[in-house]
Amino acid sequence: MDKSKFRCGYAAIIGRTNVGKSTLLNRMLGQKISVTSRKPQTTRQRLLGIKTTSSYQVIYVDTPGLHQHDNRALNRYMNQAAGNALLGVDVVIWLVEAMRWTEMDAQILGRLSVRPTPVLVGVNKIDRIIPRKKLLPFLEVISKYSMVTEVIPLAVRRGENVQRLEEIVVRYLPEQEAIFPEDQITDRSSQFLAAEFIREKLIRRLGQELPYRLNVQIEQSIEHGQLLHVDAIIWVEKTSQKAIVIGERGQVLKDVGSAARKDLERLFDRQVFLRLWVKVKQGWSNDEQALPRMGFGEHW
């Protein structure tokens, strides 16, 4: 790796829920490490995505979506994790949705106005706006905010302008050596990613039936030759939720397990034998003492 004028630094990806932050991270990395779905609050914890080339290393900080209501311990955790992501970064990517400005966007604007960090505003989902010229007044208003350094229209799912955003991010990184090894892509363990991929499949399979108050933990993963045995626990808060997750004759759990196993085989690059159990722990999402045991203590 050529160290001359090598750039390296941190870029936080922030925004309200369901605006496309995790999809953007996966697109920039060229592989999936952050779970996605159409439901808000899919991302719950801070995660680093590391992209290294011959001339730069960008350490993207993916965060939970900021939201207004923090009346539960889990919501407070997510808001704090998102807020902490702004500390010590070299540049902020603030993702907003084209032609949609909410009260939460206004609150984020207030948070950013007191920080000296350069702010790149990615205006996402521009492919939904026809004709495109309707975007111009919206882009003009955002560009006039004093803390905004640059505005980049995006269609993240299609990859439109994502490379341009990356090039702009690199310009704001300091000249220094890489912080992480060049083959490392995240700071999270494979077990963390495995649990997240299973939770993603639950969210996608159950849609509106399932409350957010479920969590997945990997109990163990054991190698048997070329086969990896993975045991995971799905935690819910009520017995009625357990029945929903299992489904009639266990069909939901079978479907989730089958879909998750494919992701795990790509993650571990080997055959996976996945076993899922559903257990009840009442009120865990509003219990600050329970959150660390559920894997949320690291960034509290």
Q: Which residue segment(s) compose the domain that 284 sits in?
A: 190-293
Is there a single domain that holds both residue 104 and residue 194?
A: no
Is there a single domain that holds both residue 108 and residue 162?
A: yes
Residue 181 maps to a domain: no
Residue 208, pLDDT above cutoff 90: no
Is there a single domain that holds both residue 53 and residue 197?
A: no
Residue 179 maps to a domain: no
C-alpha to C-alpha distance for 193 and 218, rounded to whole angstroms: 10
Is there a single domain that holds both residue 270 and residue 143?
A: no
pLDDT value, residue 3: 54
Last residue of a domain, one of 139, 171, 203: 171
Residue 2 maps to a domain: no
- Tell me the pTM: 0.82
pLDDT tens for residues 165-203? 999 999 999 999 999 999 999 998 888 889 989 988 998
Last residue of a domain, one of 112, 143, 171: 171
Regarding predicted confidence, which is higher, 173 or 17? 173
Is there a single domain that holds both residue 121 and residue 40?
A: yes
Average pLDDT over residues 243-262: 93
Regarding predicted confidence, which is higher, 40 or 154? 154
Is there a single domain that holds both residue 285 and residue 159?
A: no
Residue 183 maps to a domain: no
Q: Taking all residues of the chain, what is their mean pLDDT, rounded to a whole number?
A: 86
Residue 75 maps to a domain: yes
Confidence of residue 206 (pLDDT cuts 50, 70, 90): confident
CATH number, domain at 212?
3.30.300.20
Is there a single domain that holds both residue 31 and residue 149?
A: yes
Q: What is the DSSP letter of 100?
A: B
CATH number, domain at 93?
3.40.50.300
Is there a single domain that holds both residue 16 and residue 162?
A: yes
Is there a single domain that holds both residue 154 and residue 229?
A: no
Confidence of residue 125 (pLDDT cuts 50, 70, 90): very high
pLDDT value, residue 167: 97
Domain count, the chain: 2
Question: How far lies 132's CA from each of 86, 135, 155, in Å?
Answer: 32, 6, 12
* 3-12, 130-139, 145-154, 209-218: segment of lowest average pLDDT: 209-218
Residue 184 maps to a domain: no
The two counts, helices (H) then strands (E), for the chain are: 9, 9
Question: How far lies 10's CA from each of 16, 234, 255, 269, in Å?
Answer: 20, 33, 38, 29
Residue 300 maps to a domain: no
* 64-68, 178-182, 223-227: segment of lowest average pLDDT: 64-68
Burial of residue 247 (number of CB atoms within 10 Å: 0-12, 13-18, 19+): middle
Residue 32 maps to a domain: yes
pLDDT value, residue 75: 62
Is there a single domain that holds both residue 232 and residue 122?
A: no
Last residue of a domain, one of 171, 206, 226: 171
Confidence of residue 150 (pLDDT cuts 50, 70, 90): very high
Is there a single domain that holds both residue 150 and residue 273?
A: no
Is there a single domain that holds both residue 104 and residue 69?
A: yes
